[in-house]
Amino acid sequence: MHIPLSTTAQEARRAAALRRRVGAGVAILLIGAAVAVMLASGGHPGQVRHDRGLQASHETPPARSHATGESWQLVRENQAVNRLLERQQFITRAGTEGREIALTFDDGPGPYTPRLLDQLQRLHAAATFFEIGFMFRWFHASVSRELRMGDVIGDHTETHPHMALLSPTAQQDQILAQTEWLHRYGGPFPRLWRPPYGSYNSKTLAILRRLHMLMVLWTVDTEDYVRPGVAVIVHRALAGARPGAIILMHDAGGNRMQTIAALPPIVRALHARGYHLVTIPQLILDDPPLGAQSVPSHPAGD
């Protein structure tokens, strides 16, 4: 079932798309080499400039919304996000009444995403992915697979910049350009957004408010992006595990074999503690946060 965008979101998306169609030719030739260097060196895609000229297409709901029961579940999850947005613009953790935790992965899709999805499928664990728009060009097969698996895809901007350093117009383009890629490959307009580097300002929040998007931060950052070792990643994830926790990891932006190796022991230990692994919208629906939340003291997530 398609959940329609608000008029504001539709108009903003169309305006951004028109701006991005201007001068969309030569940059494609530069991207292949830039991405190859980035992946080989373990660098971050946020420094790559790219073509964003996308053609509008008819909105297609994700595969998991085909069944009536699943369609109703999507409606309920969207309603839960809307209720939360009425009182706060971001979330660092859900409520503490249930035994649910959300695993989240940033910076994909990428070359390691298929192996991470294999692990999630074997472990019967749901996840939420915050993805970078221009990476869809090369790794969109993983996007389609995530949607088929019932995972949720959120917005992690188009090129992973420090948003607080950008103008309001550039910030809006960063957010909406990612939604165009997701739109192209069958995903709905994302209700969730995560700031690269934890960087945002009042202008960012104003844009998210107009687009009816929730900023998702985290309860614990495993810092897996610096590749501290499998044991360290596992320890950090489990040390931060508590009801309603949002755990931050990465499936792209560098070599992610440590994260992939850490996933089975993390999931099995959480299951052994009686936790269910759910998506962010499911977490908000089942056990919404109570009271005001504080921004993490060091919001430096990659």
250 is catalytic: yes
Find out whether 158 and 135 touch, Cβ atoms under 8 Å: no
Which one, of 24, 108, 95, 145, lies nearest residue 282 by Cα?
95
Catalytic residue, from 250, 251, 287, 302: name it.
250
Q: How many CB atoms lie within 10 A of CB 164?
A: 15
From residue 73, give the alpha-carbon distance in Å to each of 56, 69, 252, 275, 287.
27, 6, 29, 21, 15
Task: Locate 31 and state its tokens.
Answer: 């991207």
State the Cα–Cα distance between residues 223 and 255, nearest whole angstrom.
Answer: 13
Cis preceding-peptide flag for 109 (omega within 30 of 0): yes
Q: Give, for 256, the enclosing helix (H) or strand (E).
A: none
287 is catalytic: no
Task: Tell me phi and psi for residue 103, to 5 degrees.
Answer: -90, 130
Catalytic residue, from 106, 155, 173, 287: name it.
106
Q: How many CB atoms lie within 10 A of CB 269?
A: 14
All residues at 6 or more sequence positions from 173 whose CB lies less than 8 Å from its CB, including other chains:
16, 19, 20, 52, 158
Report DSSP state, residue 297: S
Find out whether 144 and 185 touch, Cβ atoms under 8 Å: yes
Find out whether 31 and 154 touch, Cβ atoms under 8 Å: no
Q: Work out whether strand 246-250 and strand 276-277 pair parallel, antiparallel, or are unpaired.
A: unpaired
Question: Which residues form the catalytic set?
Answer: 106, 250
